[in-house]
């Protein structure tokens, strides 16, 4: 059968897709998920670096006539891309194993070690049974790897990144090991497109460049034919930069989501594409050790612990048979980990994905060596993917995780009509609300302003497009602030002027409040006031819902306690307890409800205060402030 070699990849895709769909998040999740879903759905421009390939392909996916919400369709897109990458990992392992089988170990000749390879005879026919089974073990282990699986359960750019990177590796290795230029051309195309999705694609280049000039059956070659071939492939890669031009053109049409407004000029375009705002998190003191510890803690969960032994063994054996391939996979790990451990962010896990792919291919070599050394051990080695899936299932099962949509409801349902909301809770609230409002039409009466995004030059024009009646009356203060903000973003503002830009920032915030307070309820989440002396300084601030109401009137206002229903949120918070986001959102929510309860208690509305303290404790049973307030309330009754 000519297509027999495609049967297993298709089966593996189906198995992976079913697994990922059964653990798929049902709604919007943390951080950038809402914004990315909105940008894909409206074909806009996403946060830096723009991810034009992801947005373009994601937009086409969002148009599929599937009977689901937009966000669920986009979560399915993540599952689809990651499941496809499982099939590609099978193909990578097959190519490497077939080549590895043809190589003889290094032997001693006249006192020197010399490689005596048997020239590879690789074909496009289906791989041998052993190779197919071992490649399936690798693919299934990859499928269940904790960090890989995490990309498949909700929308993020790393699902497509996994697919593109695995395609780059597969096409390149096939081109080099089988000596087919068409595969090298295809790898150049995949590489160029991958840069259009995520710029960390650059981390594969050292390994690819070295192996391109130092191939498995020859010494390092910088010959003219090789350089000409490289020039052609480089031209293919560079031509894919056109996808960023497409992003530029799309930005000029001012789509609904237009982060960065990159059409404004070259400086704005490069600032966005190069992610310059993130550079402050690179090379922060103390980061390297902390992130390397994080990397080491993650590795066993990618390989089911057992696979660690085979990974090390496989790398040693790979060096023994093909120095070039050994160096290739080592460089993938070294540059991936060496770069990522310098980046001081919480969600660093996904930056290590390239190294995990390399480890799994190394593992396949180790498994192959075991089957040669101890016949009959092939099928027992399926324990590796089974253990990997088993230890990671609970961690990656997001099918009941509604923390973010429920928190969004808790924050929003009690708000009066036409409220203006200041917040900087991007991870929990703002990003999700953007999607809910702009795509699903939820609470279109509300104006939401991310206070921290006001420090970016593109954001105020977008606010004016979304909420013109609120922003236009503040033109004088906005223009005065933007004059300084433009200089700041271009690194042209002297430090001596920093106090001035902060004064103008506060003046602009107060202008939005003062120009709208007569016609709009003004609400702010508590963290907005931290470090912003002078913001709403003359107004009264009282708890309202999970936030604070800003008013010119000192008369107490009270939100409807019945609109703060925590049943679903509390039940979900008990199941999902990751310390970074899930635990923190529960603690934040419980703290906000406690603050509201204390406001009711201080105004002698004891029954409502009692209800709120109990709800706060249902969300977070360790909330000592709520427990102490409840004890005090009941002791005084």
What whole-number distance in Å separates Cα of residue 389 and Cα of residue 216?
Answer: 35
CA distances (Å), 447 to each of 9, 171, 430, 438, in order?
A: 48, 48, 11, 11
CA dihedral 278, 145, 9, 309 (to 10 degrees): 120
pLDDT, residue 297, reads: 97
What whole-number distance in Å separates Cα of residue 138 and Cα of residue 96?
Answer: 12
Q: Residue 418 — left, alpha, or beta (φ > 0 → left; ψ -120 to 50 → alpha)? A: left
| From 22-26, 212-216, 428-432, 458-462, the region with the lowest mean pLDDT | 212-216
Query: In which band, very low, low, confident or very high, does the pLDDT at 636 lie, cut at 50, 70 and 90?
Result: confident
Instruction: Quote the distance between the C-alpha of residue 305 and its chain's center.
Output: 25
Query: In which band, very low, low, confident or very high, does the pLDDT at 124 lie, cut at 50, 70 and 90?
Result: very low
Overall average pLDDT of the 210-214 stretch: 95
Closest CA to 143 of 336, 381, 325, 392: 392
| From 33-47, 212-226, 381-395, the region with the lowest mean pLDDT | 212-226
- Helix, strand, coil shares of the chain, percent, nearest 5, are 65, 5, 30
pLDDT, residue 116, reads: 43
What whole-number distance in Å separates Cα of residue 354 and Cα of residue 586?
Answer: 32
Q: What number of other Cβ atoms are within 10 A of residue 65's Cβ?
A: 5
**Could you report the per-residue pLDDT of 303-339, keeping only the tens digit for each?**
999 999 999 999 999 999 999 999 999 999 999 999 9
**Could you report the per-residue pLDDT of 537-579, keeping only the tens digit for each?**
999 999 999 999 999 988 888 899 999 999 999 999 999 999 8
pLDDT, residue 543, reads: 96
What whole-number distance in Å separates Cα of residue 181 and Cα of residue 175?
Answer: 6
- Which phi and psi angles does 467 have, rounded to 5°? -135, 65
What letters, b where the CB count within 10 A reaches 16 and e where it falls short, cover 160-198?
A: bbbbbbbbbbbbbbbbbbbeeeebbbbbbbbbbbbbbbb
pLDDT, residue 77, reads: 99
User: How buried is residue 579: exposed, middle or buried, by Cβ count under 10 Å (0-12/13-18/19+)?
Assistant: exposed
pTM: 0.94
pLDDT, residue 120, reads: 42
Closest CA to 32 of 52, 10, 17, 48: 48
What whole-number distance in Å separates Cα of residue 483 and Cα of residue 465?
Answer: 20
Closest CA to 411 of 401, 421, 402: 421
pLDDT higher than threshold 90 for residue 281:
no
Domain ranges of the chain: 4-396, 403-635
What whole-number distance in Å separates Cα of residue 139 and Cα of residue 127?
Answer: 15
Q: If residue 338 lies in a helix (H) or strand (E), which one and from where to where?
A: helix 323-340
pLDDT, residue 189, reads: 98
Overall average pLDDT of the 363-387 stretch: 94
Query: In which band, very low, low, confident or very high, does the pLDDT at 2 lie, cut at 50, 70 and 90?
Result: low
Tokens of 590: 């419980």
pLDDT higher than threshold 50 for residue 115:
no
User: How buried is residue 293: exposed, middle or buried, by Cβ count under 10 Å (0-12/13-18/19+)?
Assistant: exposed
Overall average pLDDT of the 76-96 stretch: 98
Let me know: does 100 contact 322? Beta carbons within 8 Å. yes
pLDDT, residue 4, reads: 61
The pLDDT > 90 percentage for the chain reads 87
Query: In which band, very low, low, confident or very high, does the pLDDT at 128 lie, cut at 50, 70 and 90?
Result: confident
pLDDT, residue 102, reads: 86
Higher-scoring residue by pLDDT: 52, 114: 52
What whole-number distance in Å separates Cα of residue 551 and Cα of residue 518?
Answer: 9
Show Cβ contacts of residue 32 under 8 Å, excluding neighbours closer than 6 positions: 46, 47, 156, 431
The pLDDT > 70 percentage for the chain reads 96
Q: Where are the alpha helices (DSSP H) in 179-286?
A: 181-195, 205-213, 224-239, 242-252, 266-273
pLDDT higher than threshold 70 for residue 36:
yes
pLDDT, residue 122, reads: 44
Query: In which band, very low, low, confident or very high, does the pLDDT at 277 lie, cut at 50, 70 and 90?
Result: confident
- Which phi and psi angles does 440 have, rounded to 5°? -95, -10
**Could you report the per-residue pLDDT of 501-541, keeping only the tens digit for each?**
999 999 999 999 999 999 999 999 999 999 899 999 999 99
Let me know: does 74 contact 61? Beta carbons within 8 Å. yes
What whole-number distance in Å separates Cα of residue 96 and Cα of residue 131?
Answer: 10
Query: In which band, very low, low, confident or very high, does the pLDDT at 430 lie, cut at 50, 70 and 90?
Result: very high
Query: In which band, very low, low, confident or very high, does the pLDDT at 112 lie, cut at 50, 70 and 90?
Result: very low
Average pLDDT, the chain: 94
Tokens of 629: 């307030």
What whole-number distance in Å separates Cα of residue 82 and Cα of residue 64?
Answer: 18
Overall average pLDDT of the 474-484 stretch: 97
3-state secondary structure of 109: strand
Query: In which band, very low, low, confident or very high, does the pLDDT at 107 lie, cut at 50, 70 and 90?
Result: low
* DSSP state at residue 439: T
**Could you report the per-residue pLDDT of 3-17, keeping only the tens digit for each?**
667 899 999 999 999
Overall average pLDDT of the 8-29 stretch: 98
Given the structure tokens 């992003």, which residue do they identify? Answer: 247
């Amino acid at each position: 059968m000519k297509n027999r070699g495609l049967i297993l990849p298709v089966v593996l895709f189906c198995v992976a897709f079913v697994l990922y769909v059964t653990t798929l998040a049902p709604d919007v999740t943390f951080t950038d998920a809402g914004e990315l879903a909105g940008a894909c759905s409206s074909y806009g421009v996403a946060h830096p670096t723009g991810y034009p390939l992801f947005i373009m392909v994601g937009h086409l996916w969002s148009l599929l006539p599937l009977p689901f919400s937009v966000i669920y369709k986009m979560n399915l897109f993540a599952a689809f891309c990651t499941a496809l990458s499982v099939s590609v990992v099978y193909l990578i392992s097959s190519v490497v194993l077939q080549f590895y089988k043809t190589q003889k170990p290094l032997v001693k000749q006249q006192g020197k070690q010399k490689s005596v390879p048997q020239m590879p005879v690789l074909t496009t026919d289906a791989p041998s049974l052993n190779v197919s089974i071992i490649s399936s073990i690798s693919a299934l282990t990859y499928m269940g790897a904790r960090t890989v699986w995490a990309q498949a359960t909700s929308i993020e750019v790393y699902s497509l990144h996994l697919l593109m990177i695995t395609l780059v590796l597969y096409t390149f290795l096939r081109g080099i090991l089988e000596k087919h230029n068409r595969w090298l051309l295809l790898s150049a195309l995949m590489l160029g497109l991958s840069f259009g999705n995520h710029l960390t694609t650059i981390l594969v280049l050292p390994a690819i460049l070295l192996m391109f000039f130092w191939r498995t059956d020859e010494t390092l070659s910088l010959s003219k034919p090789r350089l000409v071939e490289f020039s052609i492939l480089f031209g293919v890669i560079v031509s894919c930069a056109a996808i960023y031009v497409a992003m530029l053109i799309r930005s000029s049409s001012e789509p609904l989501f237009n982060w960065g407004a990159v059409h404004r000029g070259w400086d704005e375009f490069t600032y966005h594409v190069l992610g310059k705002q993130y550079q402050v998190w690179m090379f922060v003191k103390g980061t390297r050790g902390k992130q390397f510890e994080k990397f080491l803690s993650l590795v066993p969960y990618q390989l089911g612990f057992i696979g660690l032994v085979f990974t090390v063994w496989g790398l040693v054996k790979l060096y023994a048979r093909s120095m070039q391939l050994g160096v290739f996979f080592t460089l993938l790990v070294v540059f991936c980990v060496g770069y990522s451990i310098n980046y001081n962010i919480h969600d660093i896990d996904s930056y290590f994905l390239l190294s995990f792919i390399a480890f799994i291919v190394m593992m396949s070599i180790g498994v192959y060596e075991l089957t040669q050394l101890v016949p009959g051990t092939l099928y027992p080695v399926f324990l590796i993917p089974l253990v990997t899936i088993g230890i990671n299932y609970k961690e990656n099962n997001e099918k009941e995780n509604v923390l973010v949509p429920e928190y969004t409801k808790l924050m929003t349902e009690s708000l009066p009509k036409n409220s203006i909301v200041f917040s900087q809770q991007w991870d929990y609230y703002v990003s999700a609300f953007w999607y809910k409002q702009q795509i699903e039409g939820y609470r279109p009466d509300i104006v939401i302003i991310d206070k921290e995004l006001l420090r970016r030059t593109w954001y105020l024009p977008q606010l004016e497009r979304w909420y013109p009646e609120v922003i236009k009356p503040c033109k004088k203060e906005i223009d005065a602030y933007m004059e300084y903000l433009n200089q700041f973003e271009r690194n042209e503002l002297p430090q001596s002027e920093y106090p001035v830009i902060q004064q103008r920032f506060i003046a602009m915030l107060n202008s939005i409040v003062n120009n709208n307070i007569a016609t709009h309820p003004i609400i702010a989440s508590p963290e907005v006031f931290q470090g912003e002396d002078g913001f709403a300084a003359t107004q009264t601030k009282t708890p309202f819902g999970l936030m604070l109401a800003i008013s010119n009137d000192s008369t107490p206002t009270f939100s409807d306690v019945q609109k703060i229903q925590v049943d679903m949120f509390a039940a979900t918070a008990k199941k999902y307890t990751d310390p970074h986001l899930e635990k923190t959102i529960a603690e934040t929510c419980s703290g906000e409800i406690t603050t509201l309860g204390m406001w009711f208690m201080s105004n002698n509305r004891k029954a409502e205060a009692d209800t709120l303290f109990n709800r706060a404790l249902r969300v977070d049973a360790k909330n000592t402030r709520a427990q102490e307030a409840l004890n005090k309330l009941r002791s005084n009754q």
